[in-house]
Amino acid sequence: MREMPAPFLAPRTTLRVGGTAIAELVLEQREDVYLLPDKLKALGGTPLVLGAGSNILAQDGELPLVLIRPFFYDGPEIAGEADGKILVRAGAGVPMARLLRFCSASGLSGLEGLVGIPGSVGGAVAMNAGSHGTETCKNIHSVQVVIDNTIERISASALQYGYRTLSINGKKNDFIVLEATFGLTVAERDGICNCMRHNFFKKKSKQPVTAWSAGCVFKNPSPEMSAGRLLDEAGFKGRKLGGMAFSTLHANFLINEGKGSATAALALLQEAREAVLQRFGIALEPEVRIVPCLLP
């Protein structure tokens, strides 16, 4: 385990905002997890598992957080076969883009809809990331996690997941993903590649995929009603405040234009929520994880 005092959150998140945490603990081998309880007790503060830093809005200033970084980059690799599916295993730190390239090259289908999603395997599993009708957890065969200070392998049948959420044994955000094993089907490589290419360019045409962004900031109220449409109709597409802005491509994407701050981001989010509530009577729920949490 490596320890770094007072790490800055901004360069560790895709939104590029945030102050300093108490410390950063980098897990380099599975056994490091057994050192965490004593280390966290000594440091104080609230643990925050951080992968590639997408879907995170960290507040400004000195934060009572201890960052836990699972730097497990093993895989992707074929791990066998079960129930007619080919198993692909990847460590929590593996970038989603690398996993998808492996699947495409190997002729394995199931994750094509996740192309263009930033972040790592661990983060995608922990929040059940999804796009183009695909959810990460629907393709899970098993996950290796730390829960209750013990390393366990949890089968897909024991996972409780929903829209952008995952719970294990009734616990949400109270576990650390170490690796995930996906169950995928064999398909033509050209077909998989073409599907990924189509999905990526479709996403690129409608979302600011190259901007400093945490992704969608609010959950869709229902499958039939998108947060982006509500924000657009409330006049927030392109709305700016203090270096932060709702994208002109997609109103549900908050972007940092270069010199934004978490304070400005939170003020803009609250302004948007109040406007949508007043106009439509709908209370938007944050999809981005605000740390420490402020918005209900």
Active site residues: 164, 216, 287
Residues in the chain: 296
Which residue in this structure is represented by tokens 């997941």? Answer: 161
Task: Report the distance separating Cα 286 and Cα 220, nearest Å.
Answer: 9
Specify whether the CB–CB gap between 37 and 69 falls below 8 A: no
> Which H or E element spans position 81?
strand 77-82
How deeply is 64 buried, as exposed, middle or buried, from its count of CB atoms within 10 A (0-12, 13-18, 19+)?
A: exposed
Q: Where are the alpha helices (DSSP H) in the chain?
A: 36-43, 96-106, 121-126, 189-206, 227-233, 262-280
Token code pair at residue 27: 């897990």
How deeply is 31 buried, as exposed, middle or buried, from its count of CB atoms within 10 A (0-12, 13-18, 19+)?
A: exposed
* DSSP 8-state class, residue 284: P
